[in-house]
Amino acid sequence: MDTQALALALPLIGWASHTALLTHRLATARRDPLTGLRTRAGWTALAERVIRRHSDAVVLLLDLDDFKNLNDSHGHAAGDFALVVTAERLAAWCGRHGIAGRLGGDEFVAIARQAPDLESLHRALNQPVAYAGRRLPVSVSVGSCHVKDLPVRSLSDALATADSAMYAAKGTAGRRGPRTLNR
């Protein structure tokens, strides 16, 4: 290859490599490294699209109960494992009809295209987790918002309503009682 052709090709090769690297970084930034679920940014873009297209969409906000106590009692590796299992259970429940994400810490979010069976979600999420020969207690509070019930269909309003419902659910039931509240 002559030097002139090489001089022209090198910047193109560099640009292509840099573009590929940035594309890879953007894709991984939209996934939570621990759970593999979408991050807030990745989930939000898809959730807004679902709200625009599906008037029966339901937004869910989920929070592990007593997560600090789980970490303190069993260690952070056990806490991480509980987060991963919770993410897997939530993603399985969402299936093809919804999108799950992790906001951070022990907070998860989901959107379903139509009114979901929240009792089946509650049963799936509130099962003990087997870790290192022990059964770790896992309890998750869930708040939901039916988008059609909002005066204006917006993701921020749906999340705020689901957040209020989630905290109301945390305060209304004992550890073993249902912790799902619809608004």
Give the pTM: 0.78
Q: Which residues are catalytic?
A: 106
What amino acid is encoded at 115 in this protein? Answer: A
When mean pLDDT is compared across 4-18, 61-75, 117-131, the lowest value belongs to 4-18
Please state the rounded mean pLDDT for residues 29-49.
92
Contacts of 61 (CB under 8 A, 6+ apart): 107, 108, 109, 142, 143, 144, 159, 162, 163, 165, 166
| H or E element in which residue 180 lies | strand 180-182
Are 31 and 38 in contact, with CB atoms under 8 Å apart?
A: yes
When mean pLDDT is compared across 7-11, 105-109, 128-132, the lowest value belongs to 7-11
Tell me whether strands 180-182 and 140-146 are parallel, antiparallel or unpaired: parallel
71-124 per-position pLDDT tens digit: 999 999 999 999 999 999 999 999 988 999 999 999 999 999 987 788 999 999
